[in-house]
């Protein structure tokens, strides 16, 4: 009977997509503002579409190549001669992820100017437009993920084919995240270095040739990139639980798919909770947009707890005592996961708020100059890893005590269950950021810009929480994927009549895998940062060239040439995303071939550990530098234009690629590496289960 | 018979101490220069002695407390009622380490002014004095370590008592390294932030009130701190090999202690090689001090390879075929270790030389401003971890293939065998740094200062290599300690009739231990950086206060008040070293009690992995920022005083606590945590082998 419960997920997915379409219609109907605003918004839209189109063309080649590799080199989980099942699922996953990114970006670029225009009527009006734009993205992402997984599972009846779907979503997310992250910070850093630091132009000044590129970056990096990222984590968390349920052999005598279906059901419930919370936020309204967004997160959590209990109860009907107990245990584990996600979000909030000690101290340290701002931000960023790690450890410990590793996977599902709300809140940020910029460029007046500013700062607060949440969720997900990799490998080696996988840290192959794994997130971050730095330098040269060759631009008498800067950002991002992307797929393959299945497992584990440290550190250090600078700009310590302010800008500029390029890409890196390992493991198991370099047991 | 081979180590140790004393005499006999130089050198000596004395007083209490805990809470390895053996060995180890630090510092502060004076006669004369000062430290450190270990082993006949000696050395090293590192950078950063950045004073300007404190810092941080650090690693590497030989039961039918004695013999041989290389450097002389130092490293390596082969051959006499083969295999492993140490040293050299791409690019990026210098240095620092990790992995793989985990421990011994030469080259650096400063303050004229400058820059080059070497060696050592922890734990649990230790990454306790372990090096680094930042801010306030309250100081008409700045650095360093030191002992204890013996092993493994990443990253990023700045100061990109130069100073200032406080302290942290775990493990095994939080096997 429990198979039918998948309908909960499927129906929730379809409903979410319909509601999303309805939100899109509402947004599109709004007044896009004056001519200048439409023009600016048109530039942004064109820039974003150009980038995504070029990127999707490259991705199409990549997807086809990988689909063929999967088809012909990986053994079919259904026993077919060619592995068309995983290959097709892979293509579907890729397409779903691309679609979700595209749609979010599309509505985002429409919502920005409309939200700016609505701000002329007040906070509430402006908030609604931006919020609906964000909610569209949230519901579209989660809806398409649930529909995709449900259909693939219903057709193929095994989570191992869903693995193909998840790998598709993940490989796209990697490109979107790296490319978008490089794009957005190339423009932002370039604009800041020349415009703010050298010419004292304000943020979003239309005279700055990189302003449009910066706006485009918000859309391709923060909306499309972030959407694919959470799509990816979301799918992977469900997949990990489904695989574990299969391999651990959780058999309900009546109905053996109960625990395979359970994560999907809970995610369906989470989506319904997100939809309700979105309506409640809208209905409640508020003059304080920041509060509204956070209120949405709590409300969604509470509704989820209630609704999930109801559906868990429905699933216990007709089940035996053991199974009933197991369902309830795992229900509680999802709540642990969700609670710990919120805890991690709040840690991030604490470390990045200007009224709390860390960011306050960082701002104060600007008095000692550029170097000291960097040192204190760096140090607090590292310290912030500790409480977040405690959050993850608590979630792991308590889930495990409830029902072992499956419950850990369910905790990850729980963390991500309300991802609809999280994505909505997160996509709200870049929309209002753009709205603010358009209000400035469209001359909507002081009052409207002030309102847009307030909305923007609410977006930043919400973002700190959602970012911590996203990292925590991705981390728990990859831990669950590590367990499912191991269970899958065990089964595969058993089938081949080989000794089982042993991940003891004292085995030399495991230790070597771990050594390589621990450096990958560091190397990957470094490459992304250098990419931003190289591109930003080009952007700086171009901006300087424009200002110097045509003094009328600075006087505001002639328009800057936006197309050049947009083109620099586009080309740079596409060129620079290649090396990091290759690393994230090639290194796990190399470790698997050279050192075998166990080394690959250890590689994953170590990369998860160090990836967690780097992701949290970079996100929080970047966030607190940003807010320290904003606090000074609010008039503290002498305010704008002082040496103290300049030092704080240095912190913010260093933090930009930390928090918006490298830090958030690590999530995706970890998921891609885990899925690459899992999907190619049958190949390693068949070719070289102990690696091409075989260590004798001495 | 092989027991007698310990005499090689003992005699080498005694000879080294005698030669060291001879070097000290040579140095002390030299002309200390003019009155002003003697005065400045006197201030430095007084400052250094005051700091070390106060620190040793605090340490004395700590050592006594820990000696009592070891005596009454840890089971005696010799079966005595109270564990007086390890306790006494612990005290001896502590005292040896303190003595080595004290002596090195004492001769260092005498050598600085004498080397400055000798510079008036040319490079060779100046080099000799500084080099003998450094060589004194090198030989004193290694000699006292070898004598200490040999005697403790000869008396107690078990490496488990030597463990106490090693723990003593290690806990002292931790305090010396953290305290010295905080001290030296408090003064350096403080002096730079005000003197260089605000008042454009040159380095070592006598008008800068923090100049003397900066010089004192070189002695307590770079000489005494670094000496205890390498003393610590050296002893630990020998210990790990001795413990493994014991627990792995390598029994030579004639003579069962062959492999326990083998590491000691090789270290004795290494010490002899160091002595010979020191004489060859002296005899060869050179107008290029940098080449001389590196020449010493190669020569010591070659002599070691030859002499070690001879002694290995002597040990094979009368042995059976199996044992003969085993001796030769492990001889080769030591060469692998030494080779990989040099490889890592050269990676560091590559990443920090201004004529190579990374540092060159960092210097170029100064054109884009403060933030971009930071970003590129950060990124290249992270990238430099990869080749260093490959060096470690290669050493591990090949050693393991030769003779399993014992050979890995022997590779670590090999890496550290020529530590006499390494310490000599390293201690040379701060001596000439001080000599340069004294030459400036003593008005020895342009030409002499130029000579001193050349000697100083040679010290920096040598330092890049020795620092990489030290990190690599410490890392291989802690890996060997991890194995010996595991073997010890296995035996202990077996004796207690308990199931054996299982470090599989998929066990929840192991995963939790790893999660905690991976964040400790990050947290520890952050605390040290914040400590430097807080103290430097106080220093900055004091320097500004002096300049503002007495304008005559800046005009050079009145002397600055050095005692105030020295006192700020002293008090600050002592106060701030407490929390990081406590963490490094308390966290492993907490993990052991809460989660058990296996979790503690995983904790160690994960901290080794992430500690390696952070140590290499920080050392190399700091080194390349420093050299990028120096390259610009040499007149490139516009030279001193430009905005580009200012941006490069920001990089250097950020790099200071990276490369001289946090980065190098991580080595010591890892060794202390490993030894804490090993020495307290019997307690955990008896009380809570699986931790107070017990995970059911689900």
Q: What is the pLDDT of residues B86-138, one digit of tens each?
A: 999 999 999 999 998 898 888 889 999 999 999 999 888 889 899 999 999 99
Check pLDDT > 60 for residue A698: no
Interface check A667 vs B, CB under 8 A: no
Reported confidence tier of residue B445, pLDDT bands at 50, 70, 90? confident
d(CA A150, CA A145): 8
CB B275 within 8 A of CB B17: no
- Mean per-residue pLDDT of chain B: 90
- Please give the pLDDT value at position A93: 96
- Please give the pLDDT value at position B251: 61
**Most A CBs within 10 Å, among B511, B661, B696, to test the A interface:** B511
CB A698 within 8 A of CB B404: yes
Region of B353 please: left (phi>0), alpha (psi -120 to 50) or beta: beta
Q: How far apart are the first and last CA of chain A?
A: 52
Q: At A67, is the secondary structure helix, strand, or coil?
A: helix
Strand partners, B504: A504
d(CA A333, CA A341): 12
Structure ipTM: 0.93
- Please give the pLDDT value at position A254: 59
- B401 CB neighbours in chain A (<8 A) are 695-696
User: Which residue's structure tokens are 């001495």?
Assistant: A698
Name A108's Cβ contacts closer than 8 Å, sequence gap at least 6: A133, A137, A219, A223, A224, A427, A430, A431, A434
- Mean per-residue pLDDT of chain A: 90
Model confidence pLDDT, tens digit, residues B671-686: 999 999 999 999 888 8
Model confidence pLDDT, tens digit, residues A461-501: 777 778 888 888 899 999 999 999 999 999 888 888 888 88
d(CA A201, CA A189): 14
Check pLDDT > 50 for residue B698: no
Check pLDDT > 70 for residue A101: yes
- B515 CB neighbours in chain A (<8 A) are 389, 392-393, 396, 609, 612
Model confidence pLDDT, tens digit, residues A597-639: 999 999 999 999 999 999 999 999 999 999 999 899 888 999 8
Nearest residue of B to residue A604 by CA position?
B505
d(CA A224, CA A220): 5
Asked if A649's CB is within 8 angstroms of B650's CB, the reply is: no
Of B370, B375, B386, the CB nearest to A370: B370
Q: How far apart are the first and last CA of chain B?
A: 52
- B375 CB neighbours in chain A (<8 A) are 529-530, 532-533, 653-654, 657
CB B655 within 8 A of CB B466: no
* A19-45 burial: b if 16+ Cβ within 10 Å, else e: bbeebbebbeebebbbeebeebbebbb
User: Which residue's structure tokens are 């007149």?
Assistant: B635
Nearest residue of A to residue B649 by CA position?
A371
Of A193, A401, A483, the CB nearest to B506: A483
CB B403 within 8 A of CB B254: no
d(CA A129, CA A24): 10
Name A123's Cβ contacts closer than 8 Å, sequence gap at least 6: A287, A289, A451, A454, A455
Q: How many CB atoms lie within 10 A of CB A483?
A: 25
Asked if A505's CB is within 8 angstroms of B505's CB, the reply is: yes
- For the record, the structure tokens of A231 come out as 């799509």
DSSP secondary structure letter of residue B504:
B
Model confidence pLDDT, tens digit, residues B379-417: 999 999 999 999 999 999 899 999 999 999 999 999 999
CB A519 within 8 A of CB A609: no
Angle at B222 between CA B220 and CA B228, to 5 degrees: 80
d(CA B527, CA B575): 12
- Counting beta carbons within 10 angstroms of the beta carbon of residue B582, is it exposed (0 to 12), middle (13 to 18) or buried (19 or more)? exposed
CB A237 within 8 A of CB A474: no
Name B536's Cβ contacts closer than 8 Å, sequence gap at least 6: A368, A372, B185, B186, B189, B190, B193
Tell me the H-state helices in B550-662.
551-555, 562-576, 578-633, 643-657
Model confidence pLDDT, tens digit, residues B278-335: 888 877 766 778 888 888 888 999 999 999 999 999 988 878 888 899 999 999 999 9
d(CA A103, CA A108): 8
Check pLDDT > 80 for residue A356: yes
Q: Does pTM top 0.90 for this prediction?
A: yes
């Amino acid at each position: 009977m429990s198979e039918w419960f998948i309908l909960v997920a499927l129906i929730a997915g379809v409903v979410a997509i319909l509601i999303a379409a309805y939100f899109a219609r509402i947004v599109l109907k709004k007044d896009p503002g004056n001519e200048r605003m439409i023009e600016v918004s048109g530039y942004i839209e064109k820039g974003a579409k150009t980038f995504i189109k070029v990127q999707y063309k490259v991705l199409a080649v990549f997807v086809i190549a990988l689909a063929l590799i999967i088809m012909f080199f990986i053994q079919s989980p259904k026993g077919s001669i060619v592995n068309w099942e995983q290959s097709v699922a892979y293509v579907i996953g890729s397409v779903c992820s691309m679609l979700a990114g595209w749609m979010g970006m599309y509505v985002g670029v429409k919502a920005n100017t409309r939200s700016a225009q609505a701000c002329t009527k007040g906070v509430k009006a402006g908030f609604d437009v931006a919020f609906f734009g964000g909610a569209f993205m949230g519901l579209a992402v989660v809806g398409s993920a649930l529909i995709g997984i449900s259909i693939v599972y219903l057709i193929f009846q095994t989570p191992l084919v869903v693995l193909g779907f998840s790998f598709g979503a993940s490989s796209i997310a990697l490109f979107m995240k790296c490319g978008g992250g490089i794009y957005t910070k190339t423009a932002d850093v370039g604009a800041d270095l020349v415009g703010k630091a050298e010419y004292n132009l304000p943020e979003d000044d239309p005279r700055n040739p990189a302003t449009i590129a910066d706006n485009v970056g918000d859309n391709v990096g923060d909306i499309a990139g972030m959407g694919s990222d959470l799509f990816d984590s979301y799918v992977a968390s469900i997949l990990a639980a489904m695989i574990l349920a299969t391999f651990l052999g959780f058999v309900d005598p009546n109905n053996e798919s109960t625990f395979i279906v359970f994560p999907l059901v809970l995610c369906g419930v989470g989506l319904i909770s997100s939809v309700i919370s979105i309506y409640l936020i809208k209905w409640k309204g508020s003059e304080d947009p920041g509060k509204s967004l956070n209120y949405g997160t709590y409300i969604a959590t509470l509704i989820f707890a209630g609704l999930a209990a109801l559906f868990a109860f429905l699933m216990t009907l007709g089940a035996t005592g053991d199974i009933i107990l197991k369902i309830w245990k795992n229900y509680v584990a999802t709540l642990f996961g969700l609670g710990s996600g919120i805890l991690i979000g709040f840690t991030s909030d604490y470390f990045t708020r200007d009224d709390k000690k860390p960011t306050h101290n960082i701002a104060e340290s600007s008095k000692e100059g550029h170097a000291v701002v960097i040192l204190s931000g760096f140090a607090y960023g590292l310290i912030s890893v500790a409480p977040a790690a405690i959050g993850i450890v608590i979630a792991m410990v308590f889930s495990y005590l409830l029902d072992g590793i499956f419950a850990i996977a369910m905790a990850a599902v729980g963390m991500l269950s309300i991802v609809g709300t999280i994505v909505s809140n997160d996509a709200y940020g870049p929309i209002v950021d753009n709205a603010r910029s358009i209000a400035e460029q469209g001359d909507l007046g002081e009052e409207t810009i002030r309102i847009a500013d307030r909305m923007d700062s609410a977006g930043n607060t919400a973002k700190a929480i959602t970012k911590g949440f996203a990292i925590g969720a991705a981390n728990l997900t990859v831990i669950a994927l590590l367990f499912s990799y191991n269970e899958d490998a065990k089964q595969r080696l058993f089938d081949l009549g080989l000794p089982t996988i042993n991940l003891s840290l004292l085995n030399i192959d495991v230790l070597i895998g771990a050594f390589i794994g621990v450096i990958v997130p560091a190397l990957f971050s470094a490459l992304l940062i250098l990419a931003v730095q190289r591109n930003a330098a080009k952007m700086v040269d171009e901006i300087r060239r424009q200002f110097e060759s045509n003094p009328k631009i600075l006087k505001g008498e002639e328009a800057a040439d936006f197309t050049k800067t947009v083109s620099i950002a586009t080309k740079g991002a596409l060129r620079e995303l290649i090396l990091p992307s290759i690393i994230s797929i090639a290194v796990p393959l190399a470790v698997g071939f050279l050192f075998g299945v166990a080394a690959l497992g250890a590689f994953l584990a170590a990369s998860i550990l160090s990836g967690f440290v780097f992701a949290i550190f970079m996100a929080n250090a970047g966030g607190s530098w940003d807010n320290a600078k904003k606090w000074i700009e609010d008039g503290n310590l002498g305010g704008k234009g002082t040496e103290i302010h300049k030092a704080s800008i240095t912190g913010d500029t260093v933090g930009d690629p930390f928090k918006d390029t490298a830090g958030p890409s690590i999530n995706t890196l970890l998921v891609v590496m885990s899925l690459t390992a899992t999907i190619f493991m049958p190949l390693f198991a068949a070719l070289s289960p102990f690696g091409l370099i075989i260590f004798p047991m001495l």
